[in-house]
Structure 1
Amino acid sequence: MREHGRTRRLLGLGVRTGGALLGSRLGRETDWRTLGEALFEGLSELKGPAMKLAQIMAQWDDLLPPDLADELARLQRQAEPMPWPRIRQALVMQYGDPESVFSEIEQTPFASASMGQVHRAATREGERVVLKVQYPGMVEVLESDLVQVRRMMRLGRWLRVPQVRLDALFEELAASLRSELDYRAEARALARYRRRYAECDWLVFPEPLEALCGPHVLAMRHVSGTPLREMETAPDAQRQKLATYLADWLTEELFTYGELHADPHAGNFASDDEGRLVIYDLGAIIPVPAARLKAMLELLDAALAQDPLGMDIALQRLGGRQGEGAPLALYRESAEAIAPLFAPGPQDFGDVRIHRRLRELSPRVWAALDRLQPPADTLLLSRTLNGHYWNMVRLGARLDMHARTQPLLEWGRSI
């Protein structure tokens, strides 16, 4: 009965969302705030992949109606925690008797997410650790919920997105969610990244405690830090240093190692007492082949050259825009909107004029989806980069993106 009740609630939320989308498309007034509140309350309690999908949507806050984006963003920082007795079940499955391993486990989590939550603890030897605990039964729930998520994603056809692209996006999302449930894989990723950046004195990854890790519990040494989402009022120099570190790390990941941290939730990043960048979560990492990087750089190169035809050719090389009727005016306006960020010299990511211009363009982007047809296998990468962009906005970053991108564009032209 519990599974059927969960299914009914997910379907109800999907129908309500679909009705709002359809009404908006037909020109009816939509109360996005009320819809967002309903989604927050329902998904915060249900958790799982549907909540994860809503968190992903929230990172596209330049495309969503502001009231809806605000409510969905709460899922990233105010999600209802799972009651302690259920979490203890997971700990018993991992350790048998948790009290034989830990002298203390804080029952109130300091972070709650879609698939698990994080509790501070102390071992019997007195070491401070954090435990990332997967919600009990999440593996089974995942597959059941994915069926409903696939149904909800069919709403994308109302935006004239072909079913084949919706199916490809679903498969990419499903693969990402399944990988996030493998906590042993995340422990291995943490160990790999610690080796990779062992000589980097401005980057910190928590150390996984292999003897205490299992498929559903990830144990790490405690690394204190101020979450990025709380850094907006920090001194400017500290924020600029952190923004520089984040930009340097992302560039290194993409162009040296061909990988990208694919969960840009602001709670996954922090600044420690020494001002270093702390990265807590490595549950989602995606490979980025050099050929895909080259194609994306070709699109950026054409945009910076204010070349709409070149943008269309680049988008087709990425696997999008298979139909007729290139929206050249939309390309031109999009290029003009992002151009200020790539002008020579430090540019302000907090410039509201840029955000306003992008938001004004978003209805036209949605309306042109049947012609744009963004390639499904780059949607997760695009969403991730968008999320990291908004982390830069939160930091009020001022970065010389012209100087940063010119060597990368030259690299793209040379291969």
Structure 2
Amino acid sequence: MRERGRTRRLLGLGVRTGSAMIRTRLGGQADWRALGEALFDGLSELKGPAMKLAQIMAQWDDLLPPDLADELSRLQRQAEPMPWEGIRRTLIDQYGDLDRHFREIEPRPFASASMGQVHRAVTHDGNTLVLKVQYPGLAEVLESDLAQVRRIMRLGRWLKVPQVRLDALFEELAASLRGELDYHAEAEALARYRARYAHLDSLVIPEPLPSLSGPRVLAMRYVAGTPLRELEDADDATRQRLATTLADWLTEELFTHRELHADPHAGNFAADDHGRLVIYDLGAVVPVPESRLRAMMALLDATLAGDPMAMDEALLGLGGRQGQGAPLALYRESAEAVAPLFAPGIQDFSDVRVHRRLRDLTPKVWAAMDRLQPPADTLLLSRTLNGHYWNLVRLGARLDMHARTQPLLAWARRR
């Protein structure tokens, strides 16, 4: 009964979304704000795959109507928590007698997401921990939810998103969600990243506690921090230090260790009291083969050279553009939009002229997606790097991207 109820509610949200899109296509006025509020309320309660999809879509706010994007973005910061009693049952399944392990567990979570929520706890020896608790029954309904989400995603065609793009997005979402249910893998990623980046004094990664963790509960030492999305008014020196750390870490992660933290929404990052960058969530870490990195850098190289034919060849090297390529004019416009970010000297990520051109370009690129046919793993990398770009915009970063990328481009040219 519970699963059928979820299915009916997901289908109901899909019908409301489809009706709004049809009304718009027929020349009517869709109330995107009202639709967004309905989706926020429904997805906050249902959690799981549909909520995760909405969070991903909210990162592409240049695709959605502004009122709808504003409401969906609330799912990254204001999602309604699951009632304590359900979470408590999961904790009892993990620990048995809670009082034997903890002096206190806060019933009110300080973070709620699509797959779980986070509660502070204090042990009897006075250590403050956080317990990331998976929503009850999520594993049992995951595949059913994914089937319904696939049906809902077909409505994206009304927003002129090509079917190949929707299919790839779904496969990415499904793989990500299945991976996020594996708390053992996340604990291993936390330990691996702590050891790997111990030399970066400006970076903090919480310590996992295997003795208190299990299949549906991940225990970590508590690291206080101000979420990145609340740092826009912080002093400039702090924001620039955080931006530099973020850029340094991403470069090392990709080009030294061939991995990528693939969930870049701002709620996963914070600043501690010393102005260090805190990374809270490592539930989505993906490998990035060297061949994929070289192909992506070849595309960037051709883009910065403003060479449309070389850009088309680089897309073939990525495994995309199997049929007729995109118009050369689109390649040229893409190069003109991207090049200012990599010009010699310090680039100001708060310069609205740059990302306004990127926003204006995005719908044109997506309209040609059926001709570009990018592989799914490239879409994942693109979404992730796009998310980190907007994190740098939020921080008002000033970085010399030319100096940062020249050694990487030289590396990619060597075979």
The answer to whether the 8 Å contact 2:129/2:220 transfers is yes
In structure 2, C-alpha distance between the alignment counterparts of 1:348 and 1:19, rounded to whole Å? 41
Residue 281 of structure 2 aligns with an amino acid whose one-letter code is: D
Distance 1:290 1:26, change over 3 A: farther
Partner of 1:233: 233
Question: How much does 1:171 deviate?
Answer: 2.7
The answer to whether the 8 Å contact 1:240/1:396 transfers is yes
The answer to whether the 8 Å contact 2:168/2:379 transfers is no
Question: Which of 39-48 and 320-329 deviates more?
Answer: 320-329
Distance 1:95 1:160, change over 3 A: closer
Partner of 1:161: 162
Secondary structure of residue in 1 paired with 2:256: helix
Distance 1:232 1:160, change over 3 A: closer
Question: How much does 1:88 deviate?
Answer: 0.4
Report 1:35-54 matches (<5 A). Answer: 35-54=35-54
2:114 aligned with 1:114: yes
Partner of 1:408: 408
Question: How much does 1:16 deviate?
Answer: 2.6
In structure 2, C-alpha distance between the alignment counterparts of 1:269 and 1:231, rounded to whole Å? 11
Partner of 2:56: 56
In structure 2, C-alpha distance between the alignment counterparts of 1:62 and 1:256, rounded to whole Å? 32
Distance 1:252 1:3, change over 3 A: same
In structure 2, C-alpha distance between the alignment counterparts of 1:243 and 1:233, rounded to whole Å? 14
Secondary structure of residue in 2 paired with 1:208: coil
2:331 aligned with 1:334: no
In structure 2, C-alpha distance between the alignment counterparts of 1:123 and 1:367, rounded to whole Å? 54
Question: How much does 1:334 deviate?
Answer: 1.6
Secondary structure of residue in 1 paired with 2:143: helix
Residue 161 of structure 1 aligns with an amino acid whose one-letter code is: P
In structure 2, C-alpha distance between the alignment counterparts of 1:135 and 1:315, rounded to whole Å? 40
Partner of 1:177: 177
Question: How much does 1:309 deviate?
Answer: 1.7
Secondary structure of residue in 1 paired with 2:252: helix
The answer to whether the 8 Å contact 1:161/1:373 transfers is no
In structure 1, C-alpha distance between the alignment counterparts of 2:249 and 2:182, rounded to whole Å? 24
TM-score by length of 2: 0.95
In structure 2, C-alpha distance between the alignment counterparts of 1:360 and 1:225, rounded to whole Å? 34
In structure 1, C-alpha distance between the alignment counterparts of 2:346 and 2:48, rounded to whole Å? 40
Distance 1:122 1:72, change over 3 A: same
Question: How much does 1:21 deviate?
Answer: 3.8
Residue 65 of structure 1 aligns with an amino acid whose one-letter code is: P
Residue 90 of structure 2 aligns with an amino acid whose one-letter code is: A
The answer to whether the 8 Å contact 1:169/1:377 transfers is no
Question: How much does 1:301 deviate?
Answer: 1.1
Partner of 1:128: 128
In structure 1, C-alpha distance between the alignment counterparts of 2:236 and 2:27, rounded to whole Å? 43
The CA deviation string for residues 311-337 of structure 1, in whole angstroms up to 9 with x for no partner, is 122112212222225221122112111
Question: How much does 1:200 deviate?
Answer: 2.4
Partner of 1:251: 251
In structure 2, C-alpha distance between the alignment counterparts of 1:359 and 1:27, rounded to whole Å? 24
Partner of 2:295: 295
Report 1:265-344 matches (<5 A). Answer: 265-344=265-344
The answer to whether the 8 Å contact 1:327/1:371 transfers is no
Distance 1:408 1:37, change over 3 A: same
The CA deviation string for residues 219-276 of structure 1, in whole angstroms up to 9 with x for no partner, is 1111111111111110001000000000000000000000000111211111112221
Residue 3 of structure 1 aligns with an amino acid whose one-letter code is: E
Distance 1:40 1:160, change over 3 A: closer
Secondary structure of residue in 2 paired with 1:120: strand
Structure 1: tracts of 5 or more residues without a match? none
The answer to whether the 8 Å contact 2:316/2:322 transfers is yes
In structure 1, C-alpha distance between the alignment counterparts of 2:135 and 2:257, rounded to whole Å? 32
Partner of 1:357: 357
Report 1:382-393 matches (<5 A). Answer: 382-393=382-393
Question: Which of 177-186 and 307-316 deviates more?
Answer: 307-316
Secondary structure of residue in 2 paired with 1:303: helix
Residue 376 of structure 2 aligns with an amino acid whose one-letter code is: A
In structure 1, C-alpha distance between the alignment counterparts of 2:74 and 2:172, rounded to whole Å? 24
The answer to whether the 8 Å contact 1:203/1:278 transfers is yes
Question: Which of 32-41 and 184-193 deviates more?
Answer: 32-41
In structure 1, C-alpha distance between the alignment counterparts of 2:161 and 2:85, rounded to whole Å? 45
In structure 2, C-alpha distance between the alignment counterparts of 1:26 and 1:409, rounded to whole Å? 47
In structure 1, C-alpha distance between the alignment counterparts of 2:175 and 2:215, rounded to whole Å? 17
Distance 1:34 1:373, change over 3 A: farther
The answer to whether the 8 Å contact 1:61/1:69 transfers is yes
Residue 329 of structure 1 aligns with an amino acid whose one-letter code is: A
Residue 288 of structure 1 aligns with an amino acid whose one-letter code is: V
The CA deviation string for residues 99-153 of structure 1, in whole angstroms up to 9 with x for no partner, is 2111101111110000100111101221111111111111012121111112223
Task: State how many pairs are aligned.
Answer: 414
Partner of 2:150: 150
Secondary structure of residue in 2 paired with 1:103: strand
In structure 2, C-alpha distance between the alignment counterparts of 1:287 and 1:342, rounded to whole Å? 26
2:326 aligned with 1:346: no
Partner of 1:140: 140
How large is the Cα RMSD of the aligned pairs?
A: 1.7
The CA deviation string for residues 271-311 of structure 1, in whole angstroms up to 9 with x for no partner, is 11222111111110011111111111111111111112221
Secondary structure of residue in 2 paired with 1:393: helix
Secondary structure of residue in 1 paired with 2:117: strand
Question: How much does 1:210 deviate?
Answer: 1.2
In structure 1, C-alpha distance between the alignment counterparts of 2:408 and 2:293, rounded to whole Å? 10
Secondary structure of residue in 2 paired with 1:257: coil
The CA deviation string for residues 186-218 of structure 1, in whole angstroms up to 9 with x for no partner, is 111111111112232221111111110001011
Question: How much does 1:166 deviate?
Answer: 4.2
